[in-house]
């Protein structure tokens, strides 16, 4: 317990000290680079927002595995500032396949760090207690949250999976000898029912218990100190109370966010007023609790709306004095002609995306300077 003597401190000093103390990561042993990233994301969010794209440098529309390539770079000349990877391949597969996945991901994460970019991690976690993969499939999937918690039948198996993740996270060492920080977003979109960890398939208490164990085991037992932990439901809330229904507590979360496709054009349906209201709930809560906030997933599949980037996304992000660290759009499938969320050369939204790219409010990888240093340079 921290004890502070207040007798000789002024009220203003106490307020400043309180703010400085409270705006801190939940991992007090976080690496120097992870602490710097955390603080600099907060600084950036006051005036700008970082643009992200899932699997941006792993593959894209019609290609895979090319060196230093992304569809976003092919259009703009710069990679996204935030690049999404996935821990989906780190469990539920033969050991040899897991090791190959580790190597691919390691190269990706280190390369992003060495270029000065940021990695965010989704986790499409295959059900450890049944078939069905990460989706919930009636008559196939087991409600595994209750099984992987402490005392559950699959708890030891879950610890082994976390050890695999911990080993990987402690291996992403760059040429400078430093571990690359990552934004880790476990159990995302938990307020829906499409994943086995979704709200219809587990109790609030069990979900919170598993979240807290996950953070504690990685941080305290496995010595992982280069993660920033992100809490991100889907868009099924209209109030702060609903947003926080399964929130594990401020001491277990670094960043709050939301995945929202439905309000931003999915199936031709737009409700920007609702989408902005939800972003404001997230932004306001982060500011109130001195945490980071982000628009963790969005996008318009195939981007048929030629002005979606500036007239839908950018206008929404700039509304209501939001304070968001980044916005990420989903992946560009390598084979599908329609499953993509960022433009590639000659796609119909390219001219508008270039306007989005050139807007001073949006930052891409080339705009980042010393993001892993305590004193950030170049744009504040």
Residue 21 tokens, joined: 């103390």
Distance CA 180, CA 313 (A): 29
In a domain, 321, yes or no: yes
The tens digit of pLDDT for each residue in 86-105 reads 999 999 999 999 999 999 99
Find tokens 């932004």 and name the residue: 283
Distance CA 255, CA 228 (A): 7
Structure confidence at residue 173 (pLDDT): 98
In a domain, 379, yes or no: no
CATH of residue 72's domain is 3.20.20.80
In a domain, 306, yes or no: yes
The domain total for the chain is: 1
Phi, psi of 92 (to 5 degrees): 70, 20
The 8-class DSSP code of residue 181 comes to: P
Residues of the chain below pLDDT 70: 1-23, 376-380
Distance CA 325, CA 50 (A): 6
Structure confidence at residue 1 (pLDDT): 38
In a domain, 88, yes or no: yes
For 367, the 3-state DSSP assignment is: helix
In a domain, 163, yes or no: yes
Q: What is the DSSP string of 295-358?
A: EEEE--TT--STTIIIIIIIHHHTGGG---SEEEE----SS-SS--SS--TT-TTHHHHHHHHH
User: What is the value of pTM for the model shown?
Assistant: 0.93
Structure confidence at residue 65 (pLDDT): 96
Structure confidence at residue 2 (pLDDT): 39
Which residues, other chains included, contact 220 with Cβ-Cβ below 8 Å and sequence gap of 6+?
none
In a domain, 77, yes or no: yes
The boundaries of the domain holding residue 119 are 30-367
Quick check: 161 and 91 in contact, CB under 8 A? Answer: yes
Q: How many beta carbons lie within 10 A of that of residue 11, not counting itself? A: 8
In a domain, 211, yes or no: yes
For 150, the 3-state DSSP assignment is: coil
In a domain, 19, yes or no: no
Structure confidence at residue 374 (pLDDT): 86
Structure confidence at residue 23 (pLDDT): 56
340 CB-contact burial (10 Å; exposed 0-12 / middle 13-18 / buried 19+): buried
The two beta strands, 118-122 and 362-363, are unpaired
Find tokens 């000659």 and name the residue: 346
Quick check: 48 and 363 in contact, CB under 8 A? Answer: yes
């Amino acid at each position: 317990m921290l004890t502070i003597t207040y007798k000789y401190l002024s009220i203003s000093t106490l307020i400043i000290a309180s703010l400085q103390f409270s705006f801190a990561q939940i991992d007090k042993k976080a690496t120097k680079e992870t602490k710097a990233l955390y603080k600099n994301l907060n600084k950036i969010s006051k005036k700008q927002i970082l643009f992200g794209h899932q699997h941006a440098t792993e593959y894209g529309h019609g290609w895979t595995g090319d060196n230093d390539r992304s569809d976003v770079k092919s259009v703009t000349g710069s990679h996204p500032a935030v690049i999404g990877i996935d821990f989906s391949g780190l469990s539920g597969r033969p050991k040899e396949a897991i090791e190959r996945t580790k190597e691919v991901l390691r190269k990706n994460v280190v390369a992003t760090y060495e270029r000065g970019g940021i990695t965010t991690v989704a986790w499409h976690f295959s059900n450890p207690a049944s078939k069905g993969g990460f989706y919930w499939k009636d008559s196939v999937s087991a409600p595994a949250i209750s099984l992987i918690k402490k005392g559950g039948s699959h708890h030891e198996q879950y610890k082994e999976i976390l050890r695999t993740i911990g080993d990987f996270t402690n291996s992403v060492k760059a040429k400078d000898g430093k571990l690359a920080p990552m934004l880790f977003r476990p159990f995302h979109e938990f307020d829906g029912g499409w994943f086995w960890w979704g709200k219809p398939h587990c109790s609030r208490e069990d979900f919170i218990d598993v979240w807290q164990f996950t953070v504690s085991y990685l941080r305290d037992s496995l010595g992982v100190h280069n993660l920033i932990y992100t809490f991100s439901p889907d868009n099924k809330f209209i109030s702060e109370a609903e947003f926080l229904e399964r929130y594990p507590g401020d001491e277990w979360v670094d960043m709050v966010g939301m995945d929202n496709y439905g309000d931003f054009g999915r199936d031709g349906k737009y409700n920007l007023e609702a989408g902005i209201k939800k972003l404001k709930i997230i932004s306001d809560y982060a500011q109130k609790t001195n945490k980071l906030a982000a628009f963790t997933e969005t996008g318009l599949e195939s981007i048929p709306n030629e002005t979606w980037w500036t007239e839908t996304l950018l206008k929404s992000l700039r509304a209501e004095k939001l304070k968001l660290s980044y916005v990420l759009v989903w992946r560009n499938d390598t084979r599908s002609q329609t499953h993509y969320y960022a433009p590639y050369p000659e796609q119909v939204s390219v001219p508008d995306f270039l306007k989005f790219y050139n807007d001073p409010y949006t930052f891409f990888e080339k705009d980042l300077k010393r993001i892993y240093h305590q004193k950030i340079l170049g744009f504040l």
